[in-house]
């Protein structure tokens, strides 16, 4: 894993550090939507309005969101979208590598990297709930090797790790 200086802003396509409290989140959000449009254009998929809205809601901040909360937020303006609208949009986003499901939280988060199905490590802060996603080829290959020794073919080596983020642990900025 590459060392990341704490003052760095998230770099798309690279390890994304824990977001600092006052970072330019509009940038994260716009960047995520722009990358989603690129991915869909390249894969000939349609980023419909519902899919775009759900993705935007996932990027409201760096915390995972449950499907129930997504539906609630989607209908905040008095709309009456039904749960399948949210589930179908999430399936699409996950299938296209634009979002992940965090099994330990039964919640969803926008992918900080984008690029098809990939292994990832999620570092989940138990204090503030923020999540950072990294992609370590060393961890991926360690998991694949351990799987191979069992005769197990690993598809997506995803690891969810609980702990305390730099902001909550008071690490110097």
Chain residues in the site for Zn ion (CB under 5 A): 19, 25, 28, 111, 113, 120, 125, 127-128, 165, 168
74 versus 114: smaller Cβ distance to Zn ion: 114
47 versus 85: smaller Cβ distance to Zn ion: 47
Structure tokens at 143: 């998991």
Question: Residue 16, SS3?
Answer: coil
50 versus 168: smaller Cβ distance to Zn ion: 168
In whole angstroms, the minimum distance from the beta carbon of 87 to Zn ion comes to 20
In whole angstroms, the minimum distance from the beta carbon of 139 to Zn ion comes to 13
Torsion of CA 39, 7, 63, 71, to 10 degrees: -50
E-strand stretches of the chain: 99-102, 107-110, 120-125, 131-134, 158-163
In whole angstroms, the minimum distance from the beta carbon of 70 to Zn ion comes to 18
Q: Per 3-state DSSP, what percentage of the chain is helix, strand, and coil (rounded to 5)? A: 35, 15, 50
Structure tokens at 134: 């990294």
In whole angstroms, the minimum distance from the beta carbon of 169 to Zn ion comes to 8
CA-nearest of 170, 138, 171, 131 to 157 is: 138
In whole angstroms, the minimum distance from the beta carbon of 149 to Zn ion comes to 26
Whether residue 94 contacts residue 132, with contact meaning beta carbons closer than 8 Å, is answered with no
24 versus 83: smaller Cβ distance to Zn ion: 24
128 versus 154: smaller Cβ distance to Zn ion: 128
């Amino acid at each position: 894993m590459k060392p990341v200086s704490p003052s760095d802003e998230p770099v798309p396509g690279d390890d994304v550090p824990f977001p600092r409290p006052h970072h330019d989140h509009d940038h994260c959000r716009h960047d995520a939507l722009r990358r989603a449009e690129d991915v869909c254009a390249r894969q000939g998929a349609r980023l419909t309005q519902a899919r775009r809205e759900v993705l935007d809601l996932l990027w409201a901040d760096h915390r995972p969101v449950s499907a129930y909360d997504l539906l609630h937020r989607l209908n905040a303006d008095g709309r009456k979208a039904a749960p399948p609208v949210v589930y179908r949009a999430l399936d699409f986003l996950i299938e296209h590598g634009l979002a992940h499901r965090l099994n330990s939280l039964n919640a969803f988060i926008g992918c900080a990297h984008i690029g098809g199905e990939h292994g990832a490590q999620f570092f989940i802060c138990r204090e503030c709930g923020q999540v950072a996603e990294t992609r370590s080829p060393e961890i991926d290959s360690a998991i694949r090797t351990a799987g191979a020794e069992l005769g197990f073919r690993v598809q997506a080596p995803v690891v969810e790790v609980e702990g305390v983020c730099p902001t909550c642990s008071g690490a110097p900025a």
